Amino acid sequence: MVVVGGRAHPDLTEAIAESLGTELLPTTAYSFANGELYVRFGESVRGADCFVIQSHAAPINDSIMEQLIMVDALKRASAKRITVIMPVYGYARQDKKHKGREPISARLMADMFKTAGADRIMAVDLHTSQIQGFFDGPVDHLWAMPLLAQYVRSRVAPDNLTIVSPDAGRVRLADQWSDHMGAPLAIIHKRRDPSVPNQVKVHELVGEVESRTCVLVDDMIDTGGTIVQAAEALFENGAKDVIVASTHGLLSGPAVERLKASGISEVVITDTLPIAEDKKFEGLTVLSIAPLIARAIREVFDDGSVTSLFNGNV
């Protein structure tokens, strides 16, 4: 087994290696003055089973390109098998054409990694499950829900809990949470107010949230707009408390200020992305995803079952 990591999230890469009880392959990586990237590995990888870890963090295009170059370097160095581990799959939200003349960038991502030499992809909580079909090879789709749900259980009495989907697109995820937690489900439906032209969406709530603790679940928090609006709708409908559970904390732009001012009591995310010090705030909890990824790597290396890591993962 050979584990290599890019520069986007070294803390996570080192934590995964530590969980595996192995050392990272010595790597030289730097950027030229014009922004081009250079990577060279310090030891032979001939015949090795290689795992290339890189979070697609900002600047996202540099992170992706560096991982592609690492894969190419391993392929040209005669690695036996190359597994690309992207805790966050870049461009995952561009998984279909919403309008004419748009790209399907998530498919392009899969094609680029295949061309570079990847044999397998591993990712955590893809934005949509159909992305698994974009790559011509095995795709291990890891779930952070058991990790997040275990934490939520330690904080909230299950008999007063409601799982909430912040919009129609996350209903399937919220339904899985509802089954896993044994808690009722509520759905927030967003639509435009026809009586007010060019007006922001109004929210309609399906489900019972009055005097209950609501857990808003999503795969990622980017600018925080959707989550904060959903929380406002829950409070307006009598929710006692709102907790947010999300896998990927992008926390772009005004996200931190919005979340701090929202009345949400706690935001629970994983460390699939690095969280800068200026984005940490009271009420933010960051759980380590490293043990989950390390267990999945071990299963792949030992020709075991990644599916066995998750109850009901089919």
Q: Dihedral angle at the C-alpha atoms of 53, 56, 61, 65, nearest 10 degrees?
A: 10
Model pLDDT, residue 311: 52
pLDDT of residue 17 exceeding 50: yes
Shared domain check, 275 and 298: no
Answer yes or no: are the C-beta atoms of 147 and 248 closer than 8 Å.
Answer: no
Strand 201-206 relative to strand 185-192: parallel, antiparallel, unpaired? antiparallel
Shared domain check, 121 and 21: yes
The predicted-structure confidence for 227-254, as pLDDT tens digits, reads as follows 999 999 999 999 999 999 999 999 999 9
Cα separation, 78 vs 45, in Å, equals 7
Model pLDDT, residue 189: 87
pLDDT of residue 201 exceeding 80: no
The predicted-structure confidence for 63-91, as pLDDT tens digits, reads as follows 999 999 999 999 999 999 999 999 999 99
The rounded mean pLDDT for the chain is 94
Q: Which residues are catalytic?
A: 190
**Of residues 273 and 98, more confidently modeled:** 273
Shared domain check, 171 and 114: no
Shared domain check, 125 and 182: no
Model pLDDT, residue 198: 52
- Work out the percent of the chain whose per-residue pLDDT is above 70: 95
Looking at the structure of the chain, the number of domains it has is 2
Average pLDDT over residues 27-38: 97
Shared domain check, 263 and 152: yes
The predicted-structure confidence for 126-178, as pLDDT tens digits, reads as follows 999 999 999 999 999 999 999 999 999 999 988 899 999 998 889 999 999 99
Task: Provide the CATH number for the domain around residue 219.
Answer: 3.40.50.2020
The predicted-structure confidence for 46-67, as pLDDT tens digits, reads as follows 999 999 999 999 999 999 999 9
The predicted-structure confidence for 89-121, as pLDDT tens digits, reads as follows 999 999 999 899 999 999 999 999 999 999 999
Shared domain check, 124 and 233: no
Shared domain check, 189 and 62: no
Model pLDDT, residue 313: 41
Model pLDDT, residue 255: 97
Shared domain check, 300 and 266: no
pLDDT of residue 181 exceeding 70: yes
- Nearest Cα to Cα of residue 264 among 231, 291, 294: 231
Residue ranges making up the domain that contains 206? 145-287
Residue 314 belongs to a domain: no
Residue 90 belongs to a domain: yes
